Amino acid sequence: MILKFIGTSSGKTSLNRFHSSILVSTKKYSLLVDAGDGISRALLSHNINFKEINGIVFTHFHPDHFSGLPALIVQMKMNDRNIPLDIFIHHSLENVVKDSLLHSYLLPERMNFEISYKTIKDNEQLKISKNFSVLARKNSHLIELEQYQSNYSAISFYSASLLLEAEGKKIVYTSDIGLMEDLLLFKEIVSDIYIMETTHLPISSLADAIQIIKAGKIFFTHYSDEDIPKLNEIMATLPANIKPKAFLATDGKSFEI
């Protein structure tokens, strides 16, 4: 299984880095995790053929995680894609995706490939392909918005952290979170890779956060350019027993798990 960081930037647009997204590829299936603003250019910059992506899973619908989807579908169409594309999405958000594509004039009748929507239910494992599955658990990233639910009953404020399992390996991806407690959503799992966002927790707490995570390797992602000096300082001062397994993710970094 190959893991590639397509982008590692936070929601704040960077001239040098792309918004957070990862690509997890087995021998038979490539899954893109999130597709925010600029995802098409990000994939091109890493020499990833649009036809290589078999499916996309979304954690939530902030623009830096979702808004690049219509443009990506257009690029797939313009590059003569003719194989189906799976979109994995929480059941409460399925219609939002469909409407977004329709309002971008991506009509099913005019597509050369099928888009297959596969809904996720919270805390239920969903099989992506043979030996590849995803498990989503709701985190607290959008909890402050839930106070407006009565005003916007048609909107879902669902935001997920993910457990990806493929070929006997486990990847935990926090995506955007809200509280330290979210780091333990998969506390029963010892993951091979733990990918942790850094924007929505105090940077000063990251060293403490690492202590509670059970994983072979830990990667920090979703950070702004301004955060880099402080993150490098923290990485340099980690305890000796932690430092060998903690890394700052960078755009384009790829490795086999």
Residue 50 lies in a domain: yes
Does residue 257 sit within a domain?
no
- CATH number of the CATH domain containing 174: 3.60.15.10
Q: Tell me which residue range forms the domain holding 123.
A: 2-249
Token reading at 245: 């397994």
pLDDT tens digits along 31-81: 999 999 999 999 999 999 999 999 999 999 999 999 999 999 999 999 999
Any domain includes 256 = no
254 within domain boundaries: no
> Residue 191 domain-assigned?
yes
Q: Is residue 185 part of a domain?
A: yes
Task: For residue range 192-244, list pLDDT tens digits in order.
Answer: 999 999 999 888 888 888 888 989 999 999 999 999 999 999 999 888 888 89
Domain count, the chain: 1
Q: What is the pLDDT of residue 209?
A: 84
255 in a structural domain: no
How is the chain split among helix, strand and coil, in percent rounded to 5? 30, 30, 40
Q: Helix 69-78 crosses helix 94-102 at what angle (to 10 degrees)?
A: 50
Residue 31 lies in a domain: yes
